[in-house]
Amino acid sequence: MRVKATSLLVTVTGRDRPGIAARVFDALSRPDQGTGALSVIDVEQVRIHGRLLLTAEVTAEVTAEVDAGENGAASPVDAVRRVLEQALARGEGARRGGPESTRGADDLVVDVTVVDAGRDAHVPASRRHLVTVLAPELDARILAEVFECIASAGGNVDRIVRLSSYPVTSYELAVTCEDPVRLRRDLGNEAAKLSIDVAVQRDGLHRRAKHLIVLDADSTLLRGEVIDMLAERAGCAAEVASVTEAAMAGRMEFGPALKKRLGYLTGLDAAAVGEVADALVLAPGARTLVRTLKRLGYVTAVVSGGFAEVIAPLVSGLGIDLLAANTLEVVDGRLTGRIIGELIDRAGKAAALERFAREAGVPLAQTIAVGDGANDVDMLERAGLGIAFNAKPSVREAADTALSVPYLDAILFLLGISREEIEAADLDQEG
- SS3 string, 160-209, reads EEEEECCCCEEEEEEEECCCHHHHHHHHHHHHHHHCCEEEEEECCHHHHC
Q: Are residues 221 and 316 in the same domain?
A: yes
Least confident of 34-48, 214-228, 408-422: 34-48
pLDDT at 264 over 90: yes
The lowest-confidence range among 14-18, 44-48, 278-282, 374-378 is: 44-48
Better pLDDT: 348 or 49: 348
Q: In this structure, which amino acid lies at residue 194?
A: L
The CATH number of whichever domain residue 376 belongs to comes to 3.40.50.1000
Q: Same domain, yes or no, for 204 and 216?
A: no
Evaluate if residue 93 carries a pLDDT over 50.
Answer: no
For residue 421, is it within any domain? Answer: no
Residues 165 and 252 in one domain: no
Same domain, residue pair 67 and 11:
yes
| Mean pLDDT score of the chain | 88
Task: Tell me how far apart the alpha carbons of residues 376 and 387 are, in angstroms, rounded to a whole number.
Answer: 10
pLDDT of residue 394: 87
In terms of C-beta density within 10 A (0-12 exposed, 13-18 middle, 19 or more buried), how is residue 148 classed?
A: exposed
Domain limit, last residue, from 180, 208, 236 = 208
Higher pLDDT, 64 or 260: 260
Supply the DSSP symbol for 217.
Answer: I
| pLDDT (0 to 100) of residue 248 | 81
Model-level pTM greater than 0.85?
no
Q: What's the pLDDT band for 97 if we cut at 50, 70, 90?
A: very low
What is the model's pLDDT at position 282? 97
CB-based burial, 264-279: b 16+ in 10 Å, e otherwise = bbeebeeebbeebbee
Quick one: 297 and 373 in the same domain? yes
For the segment 315-322, the average pLDDT, to the nearest whole number, is 97
Confidence category of residue 80, pLDDT binned at 50, 70, 90: confident
Q: How confident is the model at residue 47 (pLDDT cuts 50, 70, 90)?
A: confident
120 within a domain of the structure (yes/no)? no
Domain shared by 243 and 376, yes or no: yes
Q: Is residue 419 part of a domain?
A: no
Report CA torsion sign: 299, 300, 306, 310. negative
Structural domains in the chain (count) = 3
Q: Determine the Cα–Cα distance for residues 425 and 132; give it in Å rounded to an integer.
A: 22
Residue-level pLDDT at 102: 33
Q: Identity (one letter) of the amino acid at 214?
A: V
354 is a domain residue: yes
pLDDT (tens digit, 9 = 90+) per residue, 104-147?
A: 456 899 999 988 755 555 556 668 899 999 999 999 999 999 99
Least trusted range by pLDDT, from 48-62, 78-92, 256-270, 322-336: 78-92
pLDDT of residue 101: 37
Q: Give the E-state strand segments of 298-414 in sequence order.
A: 299-307, 322-331, 334-340, 367-371, 385-389, 401-403
Please check whether residue 407 lies inside any domain of the structure: no
Domain-embedded: residue 427: no
Of the two residues 54 and 427, the one the predictor is more confident about is: 54
Same domain, 219 and 186: no
| Residue of 216, 321, 376, 400 with catalytic role | 216
Which CATH number is 137's domain given? Answer: 3.30.70.260
The percent of residues above 90 in pLDDT, for the chain, comes to: 66
pLDDT for res 150 = 97
pLDDT above 80 for 293: yes
Same domain, 387 and 249: yes
Best-predicted range by mean pLDDT among 16-25, 68-77, 130-139? 130-139
Whether 216 and 204 map to the same domain: the answer is no
Domain stop point among 159, 193, 208: 208
378 is catalytic: no
Q: Give the model's pLDDT for residue 100.
A: 39
Indicate if 305 and 364 belong to the same structural domain: yes
- Cβ neighbours, 10 Å, residue 162: 14
218 assigned to active site: yes
What's the pLDDT at 96?
44
Which range marks the domain in which residue 32 is found? 3-114
* H/E stretch holding 354: helix 346-360
Output the pLDDT for position 91.
56
Indicate whether 73 and 195 sit together in one domain: no
Query: Cα Rg for the chain, rounded, in angstroms?
Result: 29
Lowest-pLDDT range, 48-62, 125-139, 373-387? 48-62
Give me the catalytic one of 218, 345, 376, 409: 218
Would 200 be classed as within a structural domain?
yes
Residue 370, pLDDT score: 98
3-state secondary structure 321-350: CEEEEEEEEEECCEEEEEEECCCCCHHHHH
Taking CA atoms, 296 is separated from 38, 282, 293, 399, 429, in Å, by: 39, 21, 5, 24, 13
User: For the chain, what percent of residues have pLDDT higher than 70?
Assistant: 88
pLDDT attached to residue 1: 47
Instruction: Give a yes or no: residue 134 inside a domain.
Output: yes
Q: Are residues 107 and 238 in the same domain?
A: no
